[in-house]
Structure 1
Amino acid sequence: MTENPSNADHLPVAGPGPRRVGIVEDHESVVMGLEAMLADQPDLVIVASAPTVPELLAVGADLDLVILDLRLSDGSSPKTNVEQLRAAGLETLVFTGAENPYLVRLAAKAGVLGVLRKSEPTATVVAAITAAANGEQVVTTEWAAAIDGDPGLQDVGLSPRQRDVLALYASGEKAARVASLTGLAPHTVNDYLARIRAKYAEAGRPARTKTDLYKRAVEDGWLPPPLLHPGRQ
C-alpha cells in the first residue's frame, strides 16, 4: 500500500527516476487497482494516496501528477480540489466514472490535464497516466465534451451552507426537518431556499418547484444521479 501522512518523513527524496504519482480517492479498491496497473511500469511509482486533497497535500510528497476522483465523500467541489492542487504546483488527471457531466465540466475547466473513465482498459489507463505524468494533455472524449459543454449550465455560486440546504431539501426533506438537521431557524431555511431559487433563475436555470430543485442539485453534483432501473441502459 502507499504512504500516509504519518509516514511522511520516510518518503523518498525526489530526483531522477520514475515519475511520482499521488492519488486522491476514497475507495481503497480503486487505489489498489491503480497500484496493480502500475506495478510493472518502471517509469511510474505511486508514492502517496489519501481520501481528500488536503490530506494528500499534508503528506508533503514531491509529486509529478495527482490522480483525482471527482466525487469524494467529503463533499468537496472538483473545481476547488483542482485549484488547491494547482496552487501547490501539482498537475491533475481526473479518473472517474464520469457519471455526472457537470462535475466533469467543473474539473476540466479548472485546468486538469485530462479526464479518464475508470472503465477504460488497463493499457489505456497506463498510457494516459504516463502521458499526464510527463505533463502532456490527455485528450479523451469526456475531456473534450467537458470543455465544450453546455454553456447554459452555469455555476450559480451557492455558498457551502446553501448547498447543504439544497441537498437536504431537494432530497425530500421538509423545510422544518432541514432546519433541525442544519441547526438553522425555519425562517432562515426558507430564506436560503428563496435565495437559491433566485440564483438559479438569474443563471437561466429556473427552479420553481421542489422537483426543479432536485434536478438542479443533480446537475451540479450536490446530489447523486438517480439509479437506473435494473436492466435499463
Structure 2
Amino acid sequence: MTRENIAGMSNASIDVSAAIDSDNIGDYSVQSDRLLRVAAIDDHALTLQGLETLLSAEPDFELVGCYQTVPALLADVGTDDRLDVVVLDLRLADNSDPAQNVLSLELVTDHVLILSSAESPYLVRKAVRTGVMGVVQKSETPETVVSAVRLAALGKGALTTEWASVVDSDPLLDSVDLSERQREVLELYASGESTKRVASMTGLTPNTVLDYLGRIRAKYAAAGRAENSLNKSEMYRLAQQDGYLPGPMDPS
C-alpha cells in the first residue's frame, strides 16, 4: 500500500480513516486460509525477545524468525519463500538507512510494518516514501501491535490513531504545503549549496531558484513557523525539523 497521502507528514494532515481502533481488534481477525508468515527485525535483544513471544502466540501467525539486521534475515529466508510481513525497527544499530532497508526487504515481502520508538521526522519520512504499510510506536499495547501486524500482512494500512494524533498535533509539523520542486530546492540550499549550484543541479535558472526560495520563506512565514526574512541557517533548522534533511543522530 503506497502511503503517498502521508509521505509529506510535515505539510499535510494525516487521514486516520484507516487507523487501528484498539477497541475493535476483533474486526481484524485472520482472513486467510493459511498461516500468515511473519518475521521481525530489531537490534535490541530484549525487544526482539518480546516480539518473538508476542507474535508466536498468535494462532494465525507463523513466526519465521527474529533478526537484528536486514542482511541476517535475507541470508536466512529464501526469495522463493516469501513472507506476508516483516516488522522492522526504524533505527537499527548498524546505522542502516530505513528506506534502503525497506527496499531490500522487497526481495522477500511486499509488506513492511515499521515499529519504532524514535520519532525522527527524517527517518519516518524516508521509510514512508517507500510505501510501508504503517508506523507503530513501541509504546502501543501488545494487542494494537498484533493487530497492526495482521493488517499489514493482509495488505491493509496499519496507521495507529495514537501515531496519527502525535504527528497531526505536533506544532513542528504545521501545514507548509511545499511542492516537490520546492522541497528539492530547500533540501539542496539548506544543506549548503549556493543558489548558482542549486540552479545547476536542478536545471533551473538562478532567478527561478531565488523565486522558489522566496516562496518557501513566504509559506513558512504564513504557517507561523518563521519570519519572511528566513536565512540559510534557519532554513537548515526547519528542513531538519520537517524531515527533509537528517538530524545530528540520523544516518545520512
For normalisation by structure 2, the TM-score amounts to: 0.55
The change in CA–CA distance for 1:199 and 1:217 in structure 2 (over 3 A counts) is farther
Q: How does 1:62-101 map to 2 (within 5 A)?
A: 62=81, 63-101=83-121
2:42 to 13, 19, 25: 25
1:197 to 175, 192, 198: 192
Contact 2:84 2:109 in 1 (8 A): no
The change in CA–CA distance for 1:99 and 1:129 in structure 2 (over 3 A counts) is same
Deviates more, 1:199-208 or 1:121-130: 199-208
The change in CA–CA distance for 1:88 and 1:39 in structure 2 (over 3 A counts) is closer
The structure whose RCO (Cα within 8 Å, separation 6+) is larger is 2
The change in CA–CA distance for 1:73 and 1:154 in structure 2 (over 3 A counts) is farther
The change in CA–CA distance for 1:214 and 1:150 in structure 2 (over 3 A counts) is closer
Partner of 2:249: 224
Partner of 2:3: none
| Secondary structure at the counterpart of residue 80 of structure 1 | helix
CA displacement 1:196-216 (0-9 Å, x = unmatched):
41189959699855x986876
Contact 2:113 2:133 in 1 (8 A): yes
Distance in 1 (CA, whole Å) between partners of 2:238 and 2:232 is 11
How far is the alpha carbon of 1:221 from its aligned partner? 3.9
Contact 2:39 2:66 in 1 (8 A): yes
Q: How does 1:159-170 map to 2 (within 5 A)?
A: none
Structure 2 residue 73 is matched with structure 1 residue 56: yes
Contact 1:31 1:49 in 2 (8 A): yes
Distance in 2 (CA, whole Å) between partners of 1:151 and 1:27 is 37
Aligned length: 173
How far is the alpha carbon of 1:155 from its aligned partner? 6.7
Contact 2:122 2:240 in 1 (8 A): no
Where in structure 1 are there 5+ consecutive unaligned residues? Answer: 1-15, 159-193, 226-233
Partner of 2:23: none
The change in CA–CA distance for 1:71 and 1:116 in structure 2 (over 3 A counts) is same
Partner of 2:135: 115
**AA in 2 matched with 1:40:** A
Distance in 2 (CA, whole Å) between partners of 1:134 and 1:120 is 20
Q: How does 1:169-188 map to 2 (within 5 A)?
A: none
**AA in 2 matched with 1:112:** V
Q: How does 1:36-51 map to 2 (within 5 A)?
A: 36-51=53-68
Distance in 2 (CA, whole Å) between partners of 1:221 and 1:81 is 17
1:35 to 35, 49, 52: 52
CA displacement 1:101-144 (0-9 Å, x = unmatched):
22112211210111111100111111111111122211324369
| Secondary structure at the counterpart of residue 67 of structure 1 | strand
1:124 to 144, 150, 159: 144
**AA in 2 matched with 1:22:** A
Where in structure 2 are there 5+ consecutive unaligned residues? Answer: 1-32, 169-173, 199-211, 217-229
How far is the alpha carbon of 1:87 from its aligned partner? 4.7
How far is the alpha carbon of 1:93 from its aligned partner? 0.4
Contact 2:52 2:66 in 1 (8 A): no
Contact 1:197 1:207 in 2 (8 A): no
Contact 1:115 1:143 in 2 (8 A): no
> Percent of pairs identical after alignment?
34
The change in CA–CA distance for 1:216 and 1:48 in structure 2 (over 3 A counts) is same
For normalisation by structure 1, the TM-score amounts to: 0.59
The change in CA–CA distance for 1:50 and 1:214 in structure 2 (over 3 A counts) is farther
